[in-house]
Amino acid sequence: MTALKHHVTIKGFKDGLIFLLDDTCEFAEVVQELKHKLEKTHQKILTGPIIHVHVKLGSRQASDEEKEQIREIIGQKGNLLIQSIESIEESPAALLADMADVRLVRGMVRSGQTLVKEGNILFLGDVNPGGEIKSSGSIYIMGSLRGMAHAGIDGDESAIIAASHLRPTQLRIAAIISRPPDEWGINEAYMEFAYIKDGKMEIDKIHHLHKLDLMQ
């Protein structure tokens, strides 16, 4: 039997659990792994007090029937209480489709390494703690940002920093430095971006990115 791929990722946060469901595979594969994890590998979360669950579908636009199927699978475990099942409006890659000047970069930035690029970059990989990624334009990371990112290094305050998982040691846009992540006032770190508003760095969900007039 082929080993199950990680189509379902379960993360804990202070108010409960987040179920991250892969949006690049068939829905049936997600359902299969969801059942497997709840029945075989994650039984320990099915005992004890009520746990609030938020289900993240990525860019998958699930039908009402598919959402109900997810509710039934998770809901049959008495202590798991679903609070939300949400899709993002567009994936970061889709939001960038009309940006011809985005440079695609693949790899990993390890501790002690610094990656410096010109212009807007779409980085496919992780930036580990102790690693740095810098660009004169915006930085879009399809992966985890757990090191330092500096966008708009030449002074461009219209640049942004976005990541699939945003938990950096520090963010900088132009000369403006972010507050520590613990002070952002958000519980999750998934699909977010940083931008400058009125001289201060703000953090928001990636599906609000289209509301900003970033290209002006």
What are the structural domains of the chain?
8-86 (3.30.160), 92-211 (2.160.20.70)
* pLDDT per position as a tens digit, 20-50: 888 888 889 889 988 888 877 666 666 667 8
User: Concatenated DSSP letters for 150-209?
Assistant: EE-TTS-TT--EEEEEE--SEEEETTEEPPPGGGS--S--EEEEEEEETTEEEEEEGGGG
Q: What is the pLDDT of residue 4?
A: 45
Report the distance separating Cα 32 and Cα 30, nearest Å.
5
Instruction: For the chain, give the mean pLDDT.
Output: 81
Report the distance separating Cα 188 and Cα 126, nearest Å.
18
* pLDDT per position as a tens digit, 121-162: 999 999 999 999 999 999 999 889 999 999 999 999 999 999
211: DSSP letter: G
**What are the start-end ranges of the H helices in 18-165?**
27-36, 64-75, 92-95
